[in-house]
Amino acid sequence: AQEFGIQEALKKLGVEAINNGTSTGSDNFSSGEELSSFSPVDGVLIAKVRTTTKKDYEKVMDAATNAFKIWRTKPAPQRGEIVRQFGDKLRELKEPLGKLVSYEMGKSYQEGLGEVQEMIDICDFAVGLSRQLHGLTMHSERPGHRMYEQYHPLGVVGIISAFNFPVAVWAWNTALAWISGDVCVWKPSEKTPLCGIACQNIAATVFKENNLPEGISCLINGDYKVGEFMTHDKRVPLISATGSIRMGKIVAQAVAARLGKSLLELGGNNAIIVTPDADIKMTVIGAVFGAVGTAGQRCTSTRRLIIHESIYDKVKDAVVTAYKQLRIGNPLDQKNHVGPLIDTDAVKMYQQALKKVVEEGGKLIVEGGVLKGEGYESGCYVKPAIAEANNKYEIVQHETFAPVLYLLKYSGDVENAIAIQNGVVQGLSSAIMTNNLREAERFLSVQGSDCGIANVNIGTSGAEIGGAFGGEKETGGGRESGSDAWKIYMRRQTNTINYTTELPLAQGIKFDL
Ligand code: NAD
């Protein structure tokens, strides 16, 4: 860690050995138990965070609800100006924050920087959007009446995020929520609390410099119990939750029970269809990066390759050959392709998945295994594995958050491949590799992929912030980031104004007094 300048990065980000995990902007406090953050890179304790108690949470909610009263009155373009300044601070701190993301989460330094770049991009997007929160004007059926709709902020937005995108997912939500006039309370993953503290420090500085109240950005820390403070709290009209399907089902029920809104970004089981007309070289790059990038810990990671029988052996050999070139090791060292899994529990799940696929009849063609020895002391480094399998296997139906790729064979037309691709409960990302226009259009048509993301000649992994991001079925149905995803952070109001001296009723109803 020393050689990669981690201590220096932590200093620049204001992350200390023991941190207050509860913050309402400039006010840091917390009285809960300690949470230790260990790096999966080298197993070293990075720092400790105090968790948020129920009493602390009440203090946070007071600060947030008070801040909302002020923040909502700022014109949206002025809120955009604050987000612009926040984006500039991220540009200044891109390197240290990218390093912390890499060190605390375990993704490559390039991907850590990429994650911070995504935060910067969404800020730029939000700044422009702050002048475009358009409603429609429609013609009233009544004479002398005007009818239009407008969008108002919602209030306190609760953000619950996963470990694998420890900073970007927060920014996707906050940048849009802030320009919408909302204030945010964030509970980052208990596996990456320091990333949360670093981001909170950056946001707090910007709000302070602009004499804006504490509480536009708030941080709470801890495990699911701290998340539950928000999901059961009717003062939080919107919960945006990113994580596993298991978590999403619990959160959705808690929020629905109080008729709140939830935005769910849950697990995927993403596939690439490889047809006889595919460009094999592009397929291999897309599939290998998709399967082993971020050590298979992206919601959009490629889990399944659905290959036509006529090119099955050719694609299989090419992918297996590519796997032989993968270098596994410290993600801060840019020579390496694959870093560690988040923790040893994730390693156990990976091992169980490999065992299960064999038990169900699958064949491992690239054996996995846990790496030991120098450089692998954290116990979190595993070898990416490939298994020939069947879509019906229980383990294939399940998202294993690790670099395990399943090869599935199809015969006949592309619709057979689409049926396999859609034959899982998740519906996040999907792709087809083909130079055949008919196949590509079929895949994108109403009879095609049932996922929120469907790509042609691009893998499943990663997305740009300009498009709405999210998935169908058990992935949760939420949409974040670009396009018109901002609308979920606002409430819509229809207004009708009568500028006559008569009071005609709608639908021509007569009510004479
Ligand atoms: P996780 O579900 O274990 O935890 C996610 C977050 O939810 C954490 O902050 C956790 O503390 C919190 N949480 C868990 N149970 C809760 C409850 N009952 N009430 C309130 N909060 C609760 O997920 P993880 O292991 O951190 O992340 C990996 C998962 O996230 C994968 O399934 C991945 O596909 C998914 N993910 C999805 C997207 C997406 O955009 N669709 C993006 C990133 C990750």
pLDDT digits (tens, 9 = 90+) for 263-276: 999 999 999 999 99
Ligand 1 atom 8: the closest Cα is on which residue? Answer: 189
**Is this prediction's ipTM beyond 0.85?**
yes
Cα-Cα-Cα-Cα torsion 486, 189, 72, 480, nearest 10 degrees, comes to 0
Q: Which pLDDT value is given to residue 4?
A: 81
Ligand 1, residue 187: give the atom nearest the CA.
9
242 C-alpha to center of ligand 1: Å?
A: 5
Residue-averaged pLDDT of the chain = 97
pLDDT digits (tens, 9 = 90+) for 383-398: 999 999 999 999 999 9
Q: Which pLDDT value is given to residue 513?
A: 86
Ligand 1, residue 301: give the atom nearest the CA.
34
Check: pTM over 0.90? Answer yes or no.
yes
Q: Which of 262, 299, 301 to mutate to test the pocket of ligand 1 (most atoms within 8 A of CB)?
A: 299
pLDDT digits (tens, 9 = 90+) for 366-383: 999 999 999 999 999 999
- Confidence at 506, pLDDT banded by 50, 70, 90: confident
**Interval 18-44 mean pLDDT:** 95
What is the percent of the chain with per-residue pLDDT over 70, rounded to a whole number? Answer: 100
Q: Which of 49, 223, 242 to mutate to test the pocket of ligand 1 (most atoms within 8 A of CB)?
A: 242
Residue 2 has pLDDT above 90, yes or no: no
User: Taking the CA of residue 357 as centre, how many other CA atoms within 13 Å lie in the half-sphere pointing to its CB?
Assistant: 30
Angle at CA 263, nearest 5°, toward 260 and 266?
130
Ligand 1 atom 35: the closest Cα is on which residue? Answer: 243
Tell me which long-range contacts 366-375 makes (C-beta under 8 A, separation of at least 24). Answer: 366/320, 366/323, 368/404, 371/328, 375/329, 375/330
Question: Residue 360 CB: number of other CB atoms within 10 A?
Answer: 15
Cβ < 6 A, ligand 1 pocket: 160-165, 187, 189-190, 223-224, 227-228, 231, 242-244, 247, 250-251, 265-268, 299, 399, 401, 428, 471, 475
Strand, coil or helix: what is 78?
helix
Which tokens is 303 given?
């889990």
pLDDT digits (tens, 9 = 90+) for 446-455: 999 999 999 9
95 is catalytic: no
163 C-alpha to center of ligand 1: Å?
A: 7
pLDDT digits (tens, 9 = 90+) for 317-375: 999 999 999 999 999 999 999 999 999 999 999 999 999 999 999 999 999 999 999 99
Ligand 1, residue 268: give the atom nearest the CA.
34
Q: Which of 160, 195, 226, 401 to mutate to test the pocket of ligand 1 (most atoms within 8 A of CB)?
A: 160
pLDDT digits (tens, 9 = 90+) for 301-311: 999 999 999 99
**Interval 497-511 mean pLDDT:** 93
Ligand 1 atom 16: the closest Cα is on which residue? Answer: 224
Residue 1 has pLDDT above 90, yes or no: no
Check: CB of residue 322 under 8 Å from CB of residue 424.
no
How far is 487 from 508, CA to CA, in rounded Å?
33
306 C-alpha to center of ligand 1: Å?
A: 27
Tell me the chain's radius of gyration from C-alpha atoms: 24
- Give DSSP secondary structure letters for 398-444: S--SSSEEEEEEE-SSHHHHHHHHH-SSEESEEEEE-S-HHHHHHHH
- Candidate list 104, 115, 118, 265, residue with the active-site label: 265
**Interval 121-141 mean pLDDT:** 97
Residue 409 has pLDDT above 80, yes or no: yes
Going by C-alpha positions, the residue among 99, 111, 74, 82 that lies closest to residue 1 is 99
Residue 279 has pLDDT above 70, yes or no: yes
Ligand 1 atom 43: the closest Cα is on which residue? Answer: 299
